[in-house]
Structure 1
Amino acid sequence: MTDTPLSYGTPEHPRLAVRGEARLEFDPEIARIGITVSARGKDRRNALEDLTRRNDRVLELARSYGQAMEKLETGAFSITPELDQQGRNEKIRAYHGHVHITAVLNDFTTLGEFTTRIADLEMTRINGPWWSLRPDSPAHAEARRQAVREAVQRAREYADALDTHLTALVELADTGAENAPTALPAPPGGARAAYRTAAPQPTALSLEPQRQTVYARVNARFIMAPPTL
C-alpha cells in the first residue's frame, strides 16, 4: 500500500494550516466620469429639444478624444412634469429632462481637460473621477501570486520552528482577491461641477490619480514530516 499523506493529518503526517495575504498598491488604469445633462422648459417639446441638443454636444465632445475615451455609455433618461402646487388642478408648470452618461478614460493626461470642458457646458453636471483597475488587470494576478508565496513562506517558518520540513501541499483555497472600494463614493478631491452656463474654455483642471489597493488572501494546508518533540 502506498504511504500517501492524508489531508486531515495524522501523527505520522501532521497537517499545517496557514493563511497567506497580500495587499499591494498600483497606479489606476482607468477613470470613470459621471455626467448629467439637464433641460427645463414650460413646453415638453422644447425641453426635449434642448435636452437632445445638449446631450449631442456632450457625446460629440467625448468622442473627439478618440482612443483615450475607452467607453461611453448612456444610462437613465427622463422627462418629468413639474406640477403647479398652488392650484388644485393638475396644471403643469414646467418639464424637467435628464440624461445620465458615463465616460471611461484611459489617458489621464487628457482627463483634466475633458472634465473641465464638460463641466463648462450648459446645464451639465459632472461627478468624479472614480479611479480603478480593469477587472482583468495583471495587478490582481500579482496579488494572488504574492498571497500564495506568503502562505508557503509562513508554513515553512512554522515547520522550521519544529526542526522539520514540508512534504506536501494538500489544499489551497482562494478566499477572495478583489480591488479595494474606490468607485463609490467619489474619492476626496474628485472633480465636481454643478449646473452652469457656457463660457470661454477654462484652464484644464489638474487631477492626480489615486493609487489602487488590491487585496488577496488564500488558505493553504500542508503535510510536514513528523517533528521530534
Structure 2
Amino acid sequence: MTTVAVRGESVREVEPELAEFTVVTGARDKDRQATLERLRERADALRQYLDRFGEGIEKRETGGLHVYPEAGRRGERVTAYNGSVSTTVTVTDFAALGEMMLAVAGRDQTQVHGPNWSLRPDSPVHKEARAAAVTDAIARAREYATALGAEVLELMELADPGLSGGRYEAQSAYPAYRGLSSKSAAAELQLDPQRQRVYAAVEARFTITSPTL
C-alpha cells in the first residue's frame, strides 16, 4: 500500500473584533487617607464616564490596586503615599474608541495603554481557517498522486501539527501596542483597526493507487 503524507495550511487576514486598552489611575498625597479618597474619586469618575458607552464596551476588569508609602532620603520617615488602580477595558464599538481613549487620557494622574486588537477566541474565522487547511491538504495529496500517475483512495490520518493540539492563532504583522498619556493627547484621534492574521495547519496521510513510474 502506497501512502502520501502532506501538510495543509491556510492564512487569512481579517478585521479585528475587539480592542483592548488599560487605564492606570493614580493619586499621591502626604496623608494616607487623602490618597485613598482621591484614588476612589478618580476611579469612580472613570467608571461613570465609561458607563456612557453602554454596550459599546464588552467588559471592564480591575487588574490591580497598589498603595505604598514613599520614604525620604534620610531614613524611614514617610513623606507621601502613592496609590494606583488599573482597569482593562474591552471595546467592540471602534467608532467611539478614539474619543473614549482621549477623554480618559486627559484626566489627572491617568495613563492609557493600547489599543490591542484581537479576534474573539470562538470567532468563526478560526473554524473557517481550519476547514481551508483541510481542503489544502486534500488538494496537495491529489497533486502528488497525479504527479505519480496515481489516484487518492482514502484518508488514513488527519491531525494537528505535531499531534499536540491546534495551531491556529490570530497574529499581527506589527505590534499592536500604543500608549497615550494626558500630555500626548490630541484634539482628535483617528484609529485604524489592525487586521488580524489567522493561520491554521493540519497534517494528513492518504493511501493512493500504485504509482506509474
TM-score range, shorter chain: over 0.9
Alignment of structure 1 residues 82-161 onto 2, 5 Å: 82-85=70-73, 87-88=74-75, 90-161=76-147
Instruction: Determine the structure 2 residue equivalent to 1:7.
Output: none
Distance 1:57 1:102, change over 3 A: same
AA matched with 2:176: P
TM-score, L = length of structure 1: 0.86
Question: Cα RMSD (Å) of the superposition?
Answer: 1.7
Counterpart code for 2:36:
L
State how many pairs are aligned.
Answer: 207
Secondary structure, aligned partner of 2:160: strand
Per-residue deviation, 1:195: 4.8
Distance 2:64 2:105 in 1: 19
What pairs with 1:167-186 in structure 2 (closer than 5 Å)? 167-175=153-161, 176-180=167-171
5+ unaligned residues in a row in structure 2: which ranges?
Answer: 162-166
Residue 176 of structure 2 corresponds to residue 187 of structure 1? yes
Q: What's 2:2 paired with?
A: 14
Q: Percent identity at matched positions?
A: 42
Instruction: Map Cα deviations across residues 132-167 of structure 1 (whole Å, 9 max, x no partner).
Output: 000000111111111111111011000000111100
Q: Within the alignment, does 1:208 sit opposite 2:192 as a pair?
A: yes
Counterparts of 2:72 and 2:41, CA distance in 1: 27
In structure 1, runs of 5+ residues without a counterpart are 1-12
Structure whose CA Rg is larger: 1
> Could you say if the C-alpha distance between residues 118 and 180 of structure 1 is closer, same or farther in structure 2, counting changes exceeding 3 Å?
same
In structure 1, the partner of 2:164 is none
SS in 1 for 2:176: coil
SS of 1:21's partner is strand
d(CA) in 2 for partners of 1:46, 1:16: 73
Greater helix percent: which structure? Answer: 2
Name the residue aligned to 1:3.
none
Q: Secondary structure at the match of 1:136?
A: coil
TM-superposed CA distance for 1:53, in Å, is 0.5
Looking at structure 2, the residues matched to 179 and 84 of structure 1 have their Cα atoms a distance apart, in angstroms, of 48
**Given the alignment, which residue of 34, 46, 60 partners 2:22?**
34
Please say if 1:45 is aligned against 2:36: no
Separation of aligned partners in 2, 1:102 and 1:186:
18
